[in-house]
Structure 1
Amino acid sequence: MVVVEDVRALGGELERSYQMYVRGRLKFRVGQLVYVAFSLDETVMGFAFPKEERAALVGGNPRKFQMPSESDMRFNWVEADLASLDPTEVRELVVDAWRMVVPKKVSHTYDLIHPNGPG
């Protein structure tokens, strides 16, 4: 089972990433761009995800993944039940979300350091 501390540790390792609390919710950012955010009770993790792929992700496992709120549909965003994610899966989701908000040269450097992927 994944806990917020797992994501907190990973977020601290990713270049240019920092955490902050906004209205009581833990969020991870690069600059002003949020790439991961938790619900107030920390049971749901929202993360950056391509709009054009989210219907397939949610449709493939609707118990685990949900569409964002109506107001967030305009963003590249999806949500997941944190208890349903395994540590390897959450690591991949967080790193892929981070990739969406950093320059390509930064994510390329990460790939060179981690040739076998984020796991």
Structure 2
Amino acid sequence: MTFEEFRAFVLSLPETVEAQHHGSPDFRVRNKIMANLDETAGCITVKLSLSDQQALVQRGDGSFSLPGGWSKFGWTTIDLRTAAPDEIKELIVDSWRRVAPRELWKQLAEHEVMDLSDDHPARP
């Protein structure tokens, strides 16, 4: 997944905006960070459940890693160059749900997000 595809997908989610965090782009829902982008390393960091985080890292394919101390809160680094785009999208939506207020979840269910693999709208 390219940086442009990542940005387009994440910004298609309800009330998601791009901001800055420690000099790098981040993406927020009502001022709560749901993803960080590290363009130098070619990766993103998203918030997942600890069980999902553990399962992804234990696969050992190099696409998922732990970002130091923040990993104990579920933050997981994803290599955009090696992880499957559909899986990245699924994990981004999961991270969005973890930080977005429940009142926004209905908007997500009603909101068609871009399916960047074939340029047709799809539901997450």
Asked if TM exceeds 0.5, the reply is yes
C-alpha distance in 2 between matches for 1:87 and 1:96: 14
Letter of the 1:74 partner, please give it.
K
Corresponding residue for 1:117? 123
Deviating 4+ runs (over 6 angstroms): none
Aligned residues: 115
Q: Secondary structure at the match of 2:106?
A: helix
Which sections of structure 2, spanning at least 5 residues, go unmatched? 113-121
Letter of the 1:33 partner, please give it.
K
- The CA RMSD over aligned residues, in Å, is 1.9
Please list the CA deviations of residues 70-115 of structure 1 after superposition, one character each: whole Å capped at 9, or x if unmatched: x21332211111101232222211111111111223223322345x
Structure number having the greater strand percentage = 2
Once the two structures are TM-superposed, the CA of residue 62 in structure 1 deviates from its matched residue by 4.0
- 1:7-86 matched pairs, under 5 angstroms: 7-69=6-68, 71-86=69-84
C-alpha distance in 1 between matches for 2:80 and 2:59: 17
Deviates more, 1:50-59 or 1:103-112: 103-112
Once the two structures are TM-superposed, the CA of residue 42 in structure 1 deviates from its matched residue by 4.6
Paired residues of 1:18 and 1:28 also in contact (CA < 8 A): yes
Normalising by structure 2, what TM-score?
A: 0.79
C-alpha distance in 2 between matches for 1:61 and 1:107: 32
Paired residues of 2:14 and 2:111 also in contact (CA < 8 A): no
Please list the CA deviations of residues 16-69 of structure 1 after superposition, one character each: whole Å capped at 9, or x if unmatched: 211012232110011232111022515121001012331112102441111221
Paired residues of 2:45 and 2:76 also in contact (CA < 8 A): yes
C-alpha distance in 2 between matches for 1:17 and 1:38: 14
Q: Secondary structure at the match of 2:81?
A: helix
Paired residues of 2:26 and 2:33 also in contact (CA < 8 A): yes
